[in-house]
């Protein structure tokens, strides 16, 4: 079983839609959870960083962590064509090894 | 600009060449990483350096040789690569201690082995 599971998509939505991206994981020791956005031919850019369970909001983006279900989500409200990218979830426990999902490809259609 | 700079951005090399990738971070972090990103695959961790000491070598072939002369600089020396080594090579850094331990990535080097 992979440490982190993420549906690769592709996901296509109309402009203005609410997008929900998800990852599941198997290791209950994970404490730090991240979402990255990666545009084509660029490096991943950190979007959201959460420690332990709960919600975190930043503008149109909301990250949720449910440690009891080993499930994390990223919601994008009022999606824009500029949100079209690959979204990677990542997580880590104490120490410096990061575990990444495969990424979900998102296209927002004008 | 994330504070992690990689050069070159693109590299084409023959299988008998020797080249080096460079990474520099301006964030004061104490951990640096090399990742390989191939199409349709998760990021593959290659090497981790913590306070200049290598703490992780993820069964990477010896044709990839890392070097970390100080906490701000990381190199990946390449020699006798194979076409399947063509990928995006990403450098990242993080702060190991404290509450903010997220990784920041550079823009990557797009490597093509011919």
Q: Do A45 and B2 touch (CB under 8 A)?
A: yes
Of B96, B99, B102, the CB nearest to A34: B102
Whole-number average pLDDT of chain A: 93
Report which of B109, B96, B83 is spatially closest to residue B55, judged by C-alpha positions.
Answer: B96
A&B contacts, CB < 8 Å:
61
Over residues A54-72, the pLDDT tens digits come to 899 999 999 999 999 999 9
The burial of B96, by beta-carbon neighbours within 10 Å (0-12 exposed, 13-18 middle, 19 or more buried), is given as: middle
What span, in angstroms and rounded, lies between the C-alpha atoms of A95 and B30? 12
Q: How many Cα neighbours within 13 Å face the side chain of B60?
A: 21
pLDDT above 90 covers what percent of chain B? 74
Q: What is the largest CA-CA distance in chain A?
A: 42
Q: What is the pLDDT of residues A9-55, one digit of tens each?
A: 899 999 999 999 999 999 999 999 999 999 998 999 999 999 888 89
- A32-41, A87-96, B85-94: the lowest-pLDDT one: A87-96
The count of other CB atoms within 10 Å of the CB of residue A87 is 24
- Give the burial class of B49: count Cβ atoms within 10 A of its Cβ; 0-12 exposed, 13-18 middle, 19 or more buried: buried
pLDDT tens per residue, range B12-46: 999 988 999 999 999 999 999 999 999 878 899 99
The residue count for chain A:
110
Q: Give B59: exposed, middle or buried? Use CB within 10 Å, 0-12, 13-18, 19+.
A: exposed
- At B80, is the secondary structure helix, strand, or coil? coil
Whether B50 has its CB under 8 Å from any CB of chain A: the answer is yes
Q: Is the Cβ pair A96, B90 closer than 8 Å?
A: no
Write out the two tokens for A11: 């996901």
Q: Could you give the 3-state DSSP secondary structure of residue B83?
A: helix
Report the residue of chain A nearest B98, measured CA to CA: A94
pLDDT score for B99: 61
Give whole-number Cα distances, B47 to A20, A43, A104, B82, B107, in Å: 32, 17, 25, 19, 17
Distance from the Cα of B24 to chain A's closest Cα (Å) equals 14
């Amino acid at each position: 079983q992979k440490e982190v599971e993420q549906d690769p998509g592709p996901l296509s939505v109309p402009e203005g839609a609410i997008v929900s991206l998800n990852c599941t994981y198997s290791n209950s020791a994970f404490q730090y959870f991240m979402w990255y956005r990666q545009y084509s031919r660029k490096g991943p850019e950190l979007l959201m960083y959460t420690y332990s369970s709960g919600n975190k909001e930043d503008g149109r983006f909301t990250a949720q962590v449910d440690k009891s279900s080993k499930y994390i989500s990223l919601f994008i409200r009022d999606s824009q064509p500029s949100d079209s990218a690959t979204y990677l979830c990542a997580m880590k426990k104490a120490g410096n090894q990061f575990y990444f999902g495969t990424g979900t490809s998102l296209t927002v259609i004008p | 600009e994330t504070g992690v700079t990689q050069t070159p951005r693109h590299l084409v090399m023959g299988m008998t060449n020797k080249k080096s990738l460079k990474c520099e971070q301006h964030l004061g972090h104490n951990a640096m990483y090399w990742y390989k990103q191939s199409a349709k695959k998760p990021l593959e961790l290659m090497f981790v350096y913590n306070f200049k000491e290598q703490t992780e070598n993820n069964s990477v072939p010896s044709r990839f040789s890392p070097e970390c002369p100080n906490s701000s600089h990381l190199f990946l020396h390449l020699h006798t690569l194979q076409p399947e080594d063509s990928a995006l090579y990403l450098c990242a850094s993080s702060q190991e201690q404290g509450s903010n331990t997220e990784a920041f990535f550079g823009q990557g080097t797009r490597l093509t082995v011919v």
